[in-house]
Chains A and B, each alone.
Chain A
Amino acid sequence: MDYFDTLIVILQSTIRVSVPLILAALAGLYSERAGIFDIGLEGKMLAAAFAGGAAASVAGSALVGLAAAILVSVCLALVHGFASITQRGNQIVSGVAINFIALGATVILGQAWFRQGGRTPQLGEGERFTTVELPFAAELADIPVLGSIYSNLLSGHFLLTYLAFALVPFTWWVLYRTRFGLRLRAVGENPGAVDTAGISVIWLRYRAVICCGILCGIAGAYLSMAMTAGFVKGMTAGKGFIALAALIFAKWKPVNVMFACLLFGFLDAMSIRMQGNPLPFIGAVPVQFMQALPYMLTVILLAGFIGKAIPPRAGGVPYVKER
């Protein structure tokens, strides 16, 4: 039973670290499926985490924090949208810029407002999200295997966690079963056809970018208000890029995104767990190897050795109406 308990612990922390990845990767999914590449996920998440932590501690309410996180993230998404849709600028360049602006601004503003070395104040009760117990979790805990899975693995997460997992089928439904989703996918493949059908490419892409901003905002709020209690300088630590990798690894499909994020989250949880503990059969693996594994897997996938990742065809190309 010892191994089983360890497994449950690892899986639980897998879920914990996967949530921001899932949210950010779904955010990227909306944007990239509409033909707007977004490597600014990291920056939007970071800015949202800061805004969430700051607003929650000033207003004393977690919901205000969440709203602020979403607002700031959407604003940055709109800057990206303005640069890449209206101004037809380079989308990669714009994403890089947003990452830097967020990285610098969160520290400068944090230091100016709170004077705690770029942190926001520790969030107290009611200012952050708390975990919820599923019904009967305590009663069922004693049932072997299933009870443990139910009460230790499935129960006891944040509402945002359940929201993130619910957003996976929801996103699938939006993309593949609604008119908006059909048009969103079309605008990422062939914007000319969408335009010919009399639908505004620009407005459609802006809506996709806004969806992206909202989800990045939730991801950031999760980081600073659920996973930890307060913002810490540079706290996204490359999660936005892992999410981007997961999005590519999932070949831009919502359900695959969830599994890719869980896989990368699992690697992360393992690397924390394994520090100093040799693996059975393999021996000691350097922690750095485990940390680099998601990136290596993505490169291998991109190289087309395990399936082929084909991006949306109009991705990265600004749409110019025929002149």
Chain B
Amino acid sequence: MSAPYAKLPAWVDYGLIPLINLAVAFLVAGLVVLAVGQSPLRAASLLIEGAFGYGEGIGFTLYYATNFIFTGLAVAVAFHCGLFNIGGEGQAYVAGLGVVLPCLWLDQFAPWYVIFPVAILGSALVGASWALIPGWLQAKRGSHVVITTIMFNFIASSLMVYVLVDVLKPAGSMAPQTRKFAESGQLPRLDWLLSPFGLDIGGAPFNLSFLLALVMAFVVWVVIWRTRLGYEIRTMGHSPTAAAYAGIREHRIIIITMMMSGALAGMMALNPIMGDQHSMQLDFVGGAGFVGIAVALMGRSHPAGIIPAAILFGVLYQGGAEISFEMPEISRDMITIIQGLVILFAGALENMFRPAITTFFATLGAARAARPQPAAE
């Protein structure tokens, strides 16, 4: 299908329009705060204060952002191939097994720098294989990947409840979680990263997986924009018929993309399990897989956009906790609304303001052209 809109300068397309959409989403969220009878300005200042005001807050913000970088990248990679992977939540949940099993086996006799690579590999492999089935079904049988990944989220949730309650729970314990790992199953914190700025992360679980997330963002950029595979993925996303004509094997690309997406979502499990809770708990993903959709849409599926978008959602999560402490009417469910609004305005309604902006720039361009130019060209 041809693009139904005129071309705009890049900075408008990738900078101004997303910002306007985001601003509208927050404006509507502010109206909800007003409807509840609270001051949106006070909420906003509490949000910023809670997320950036002190070292521990920043630590928590970046801890949450780590989750969202992984899941955002996962959704974005699939987007490039024209696939919509809603299954990040389930893939990350199941991938918890790939993290927790190496930890439970090795934490008695191996140091963390041995366990960490094994756990990275484990989480990526399990996440990828949980995404492999929907990918394979889409490629070979034409089953829509959106529906199958939704179904796989629910299957994952049932499976993990079963595994945690009936298999991994230590005997005699009531809580559905694994035993706590020994010290070597815990990732080092990144307090040295913030201490040069005079910040103390305190009890915040800001840990090594943040750096892994940044590395993965770079890897995704290299793979998507600098390799043959990435070129084939993007070609598939733009035009499957063109891809077929160019001799790109459709099935192979769909399956590989879904596995990459699942692996990225799976790595998210490292952060809460090895970095924070040091055990696997029920529903440790906590919706991060779905936040990834909003992050990818906001970041325009580019790592350079995904990282700031993930940090923004980190701010919302951390600052939102602060708000609910000060203003009990605004619980953390407010974040869910904002998330929905961001998905709506930055995703489904992304072109709502485009005609107006296009007209604006067209008249601007016409005005400039009408002005007498010095005879330079």
> A residues bordering B, Cβ < 8 Å?
39, 79, 82-84, 87-94, 96-105, 107-109, 111-112, 118, 238, 241, 244-245, 248, 286, 288-289, 291-292, 295-296, 298-299, 302-304, 309, 311, 320, 323
Whether B334 contacts A108 by the Cβ 8 Å rule is: yes
How many inter-chain residue pairs (CB < 8 Å) link A and B?
A: 153
Complex alpha-carbon distance, A102 and B339, angstroms: 11
B36 contact set on A, CB distance < 8 A: 108-109, 112
**B86 an interface residue at 8 Å Cβ cutoff?**
yes
A84 partner, pick from B32, B147, B155, B348, beta carbons under 8 A: B348
Pick from A97, A289, A311 the residue with the most CB of B within 10 Å.
A97
B337 contact set on A, CB distance < 8 A: 100-101, 104-105, 108
Contact with A along B295-310 (1 / 0, CB 8 A): 0010000000000000
What are 21 A-B pairs at a CB distance below 8 A? A39-B146, A83-B348, A87-B349, A87-B352, A89-B350, A96-B293, A96-B340, A97-B343, A100-B290, A103-B336, A103-B340, A104-B336, A104-B340, A108-B329, A108-B330, A108-B331, A108-B334, A286-B166, A289-B162, A299-B143, A302-B137
A245 contact set on B, CB distance < 8 A: 147, 151
**B158 an interface residue at 8 Å Cβ cutoff?**
yes
Whether A299 contacts B137 by the Cβ 8 Å rule is: yes
**B347 an interface residue at 8 Å Cβ cutoff?**
yes
Interface of A is mostly: helix
Taking A90-B348, A93-B297 as contacts, is the C-beta distance between A108 and B333 under 8 angstroms? yes
Pick from B143, B148, B151, B290 the residue with the most CB of A within 10 Å.
B151
Complex alpha-carbon distance, A260 and B363, angstroms: 56
Complex alpha-carbon distance, A78 and B47, angstroms: 32
A92 contact set on B, CB distance < 8 A: 84, 86, 146
Known: A104-B334, A105-B337, A248-B147. 10 other contacts (CB 8 A): A91-B348, A92-B84, A96-B290, A100-B339, A101-B344, A104-B340, A118-B333, A295-B155, A302-B144, A304-B141
Taking A93-B297, A302-B147 as contacts, is the C-beta distance between A288 and B4 under 8 angstroms? no
**B357 an interface residue at 8 Å Cβ cutoff?**
no
Taking A296-B155, A304-B141 as contacts, is the C-beta distance between A39 and B150 under 8 angstroms? yes
B369 to chain A, nearest CB (A): 25
B155 partner, pick from A99, A100, A111, A292, beta carbons under 8 A: A292
Whether A311 contacts B333 by the Cβ 8 Å rule is: no
B326 to chain A, nearest CB (A): 15
Whether B330 contacts A288 by the Cβ 8 Å rule is: no
Whether B348 contacts A94 by the Cβ 8 Å rule is: yes
Taking A107-B333, A286-B166 as contacts, is the C-beta distance between A83 and B152 under 8 angstroms? no
A238 contact set on B, CB distance < 8 A: 154
Taking A83-B344, A295-B154, A298-B151 as contacts, is the C-beta distance between A104 and B351 under 8 angstroms? no
Whether B32 contacts A299 by the Cβ 8 Å rule is: no
Complex alpha-carbon distance, A183 and B62, angstroms: 52
Nearest residue in B to A234 (C-beta to C-beta)? B333
B166 to chain A, nearest CB (A): 7
A97 partner, pick from B35, B152, B347, beta carbons under 8 A: B347
Complex alpha-carbon distance, A269 and B341, angstroms: 36
Contact with A along B158-184 (1 / 0, CB 8 A): 110110001000000000000000000
B159 contact set on A, CB distance < 8 A: 288, 292
Complex alpha-carbon distance, A292 and B158, angstroms: 6
B334 contact set on A, CB distance < 8 A: 104, 108
Complex alpha-carbon distance, A241 and B147, angstroms: 9
A88 contact set on B, CB distance < 8 A: 4, 351
Nearest residue in B to A95 (C-beta to C-beta)? B348
**B335 an interface residue at 8 Å Cβ cutoff?**
yes
Whether A304 contacts B146 by the Cβ 8 Å rule is: no
Complex alpha-carbon distance, A309 and B351, angstroms: 32
A94 partner, pick from B32, B158, B331, B344, beta carbons under 8 A: B344
A89 partner, pick from B141, B339, B351, beta carbons under 8 A: B351
